[in-house]
């Protein structure tokens, strides 16, 4: 489902160039649940953004379901992301003036689908249909993240990326959010890639990838943790 070839990404600070991704080669199977761990500043989010088509690498390729996403022009990339990729941010990124239903409906509206019906279905999947008319400020942190997940899955993507989706939540809400993500991935055969600093959460995945010094290593999954 996801393949990278010799992936490089760096940032320039003044006259100094800092390489964050150093020739990463990676293969992720369809329906696989991958957790990406590593120390702060190791490049976890940079790798996730690059896999999702949000940051262009200086060198290398990213293929999703056979599509080399960085050979597409900007409009084609946007269309591909809207149709095939869902992304969950740590800080929710909900529009404060829109209700939960309206926030979830945005990707569907962009793709020209019946966005209200799709949004209600997505909210139901995360257990928030009864909160559909509430603004983000009227929802708890856990509820806001569930709305963000509903928005990410509203177009039924092939791949779901999540960047520290439990980073702002307590342990109870963290477990609930992780269970929702894993259940959605299993029930709908979605490939799931999650960045987390919490390796105890990462144990529930099929593989844990550790990023260090710009490269990744694969660790076999530990016994599944109870959620």
pTM of the model: 0.89
CA dist., res. 103 & res. 151, Å (int): 7
- Nearby residues of 67 by Cβ (< 8 Å), 6 or more positions away: 80, 84
Starting at the edge strand found earlier in the chain, the sheet holding 67-68 runs 16-28, 2-13, 59-64, 67-68
What are the structure tokens assigned to 71, written together? Answer: 């050979």
pLDDT tens digits for the chain (227 residues)? 999 999 999 988 888 888 899 999 999 999 999 999 988 878 899 999 999 999 999 999 999 999 999 999 999 999 999 999 999 998 999 999 999 999 999 998 887 777 899 999 999 999 999 999 999 999 999 999 999 999 999 999 999 999 999 888 888 888 899 999 999 999 989 999 999 887 777 778 899 999 887 888 765 444 444 34
2-219: in CATH 3.40.50.300: yes
Cα torsion angle, 61, 49, 28, 84, sign: negative
CA dist., res. 74 & res. 72, Å (int): 7
DSSP letter (8 states) at residue 92:
-
| Residues linked to residue 35 through DSSP beta bridges, in sequence order | 194, 208
Q: Quick check: helix, strand or coil at residue 136?
A: helix
What are the structure tokens assigned to 204, written together? Answer: 């529930």
The domain locations on the chain are 2-219
Pick left, alpha or beta for residue 109 (phi over 0 → left; psi -120 to 50 → alpha; otherwise beta).
Answer: alpha
Q: Do residues 221 and 189 lie in contact, with contact meaning Cβ atoms separated by under 8 Å?
A: no
C-alpha angle with apex 70: 58 to 202, nearest 5 degrees? Answer: 80
């Amino acid at each position: 489902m996801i393949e990278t070839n010799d992936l490089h990404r760096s940032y320039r600070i003044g006259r100094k160039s800092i390489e964050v991704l150093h020739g990463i080669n990676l293969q992720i199977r369809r329906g696989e649940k991958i957790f990406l761990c590593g120390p702060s500043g190791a490049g976890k989010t940079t790798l996730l953004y690059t896999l999702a088509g949000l940051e262009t690498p200086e060198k290398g390729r990213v293929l999703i379901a056979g599509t080399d996403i960085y050979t597409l022009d900007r409009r084609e990339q946007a269309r591909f992301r809207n149709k095939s990729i869902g992304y969950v941010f740590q800080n929710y990124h909900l529009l404060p003036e829109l209700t939960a239903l309206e926030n979830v409906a945005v990707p569907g509206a962009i793709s020209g689908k019946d966005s209200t019906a799709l949004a209600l279905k997505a909210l139901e999947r995360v257990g928030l249909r009864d909160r559909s008319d509430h603004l983000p400020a009227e929802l708890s942190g856990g509820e806001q993240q569930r709305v963000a997940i509903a928005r990410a899955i509203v177009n039924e993507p092939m791949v779901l990326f999540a960047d520290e989706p439990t980073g702002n939540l307590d342990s109870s809400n963290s477990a609930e959010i992780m269970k929702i993500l894993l259940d959605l991935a299993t029930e709908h055969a979605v490939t799931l890639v999650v960045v987390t600093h919490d390796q105890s959460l990462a144990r529930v995945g099929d593989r844990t990838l550790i990023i260090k010094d710009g490269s990744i290593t694969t660790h076999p999954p530990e016994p599944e943790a109870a959620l």
